[in-house]
Amino acid sequence: MPTHKLAATPETVRWGVFNAAFPPLITAASGDTVVLECVSGGPEVMPGASSGLKVPPALAAIHAANVPRAPGHIITGPVAIAGAESGDALEVHIDKIEFGSDWGYCGFRPLAGTIPEDFPEQFLSHIQVDRARKTCRMPWGTELSLSPFFGVMGVAPPPHYGAISTVQPREHGGNLDNKELGAGSTLFLPVWAPGALFSAGDGHGVQGDGEVCINALEICLTGTFTLTVHKGGGARDPLLTYPRAETASHYISMGMHEDLDVAMKTALRQMIAFITERTNLSRQEAYQFCSLAVDFHVTQTVNGEKGVHGLLKKGLLI
């Protein structure tokens, strides 16, 4: 199938905003592969010249162009998929993730994060990355293995929303910050607008569940995605109205809400629906099964709309 490429340039990125009114930069056919170069960070978090760390040229050019900026992330796109329309499902298979820089950053600022009352100051670290070894070294010496993924992957939100921030994840996907969605995984998104209008960004080199201080290892990444439209949700997801995902080992449900309890209830209800759609189990049996066999994790607690995701090991459904 054809492969389409979008470099990160002042003309191909949006800073902090999703909007169904944004025109597509390219249109792909269902099943095509799309390569998106994605960059992260404003000028205020770039390393100084004395650090020896180099700002990627694509990111420097975006800064120099004074791209219109709202609070949030630099996302590349949107990409339209021919024939996609509201009520369909978009399958986003993450084929490959490549690093776009040899460093990333992590920090926090006043009035943000999970416990801002304990950390009213600004704090920022630039963290070197060894691409060949797929590791990073913290300033105090600890080495972490990298596990890259895109914090933001989403389609256009419902058109009546107008312009919305990239910060809060919602039914269109967006700032999911789900560390399970690395290379080889698949994200399923309900389509809300003609063409679906897929965008990605907010590269993360590594992150723990919760993303508690507000950042992961924020880094430039390039993603290769195969985008497939399932009309009416397809036989697999005829009732898809909320993001779901799948890895080689697990099925994943999600829930997002400003109240973490409500996010948990949504992730649970989504998993119950998933199980009953694919088995002969009753709702009561599926609820019981979730208590015995599904692990629910706190995805993130820093995006206003907090996240919970449920993990059901493959091979347990009959």
- Is residue 126 located within the same domain as residue 201? yes
| Residue 280, domain CATH | 3.10.28.20
- Is residue 217 located within the same domain as residue 304? no
Going by C-beta distance under 8 Å and a sequence separation of 6 or more, which residues neighbour residue 59? 8, 39, 40, 41, 74, 220
What does DSSP assign to residue 48? P
Q: What are 292-306's pLDDT values in tens digits?
A: 999 999 999 999 999
Final residue of a structural domain among 233, 258, 288: 233
- Is residue 217 located within the same domain as residue 282? no
- Is residue 149 located within the same domain as residue 196? yes
Residue whose structure tokens are 């905003």: 17
Asked whether the beta carbons of 220 and 100 are under 8 A apart, the reply is: yes
Going 254 to 4 to 182 to 162, the CA torsion angle's sign is: negative
Please compute the mean of the pLDDT values over residues 122-135 and round it to a whole number. 97
State pTM to two decimals: 0.96
Confidence category of residue 6, pLDDT binned at 50, 70, 90:
very high
Residue 181 forms part of a structural domain: yes
Residue 244 forms part of a structural domain: no
The boundaries of the domain holding residue 292 are 249-318
- Is residue 159 located within the same domain as residue 293? no
- Is residue 222 located within the same domain as residue 101? yes
**For 31-40, 196-205, 232-241, 308-317, which range has the lowest pLDDT when averaged over its residues?**
232-241
Tally of structural domains, the chain: 2
pLDDT value at residue 221: 98
- Is residue 221 located within the same domain as residue 308? no
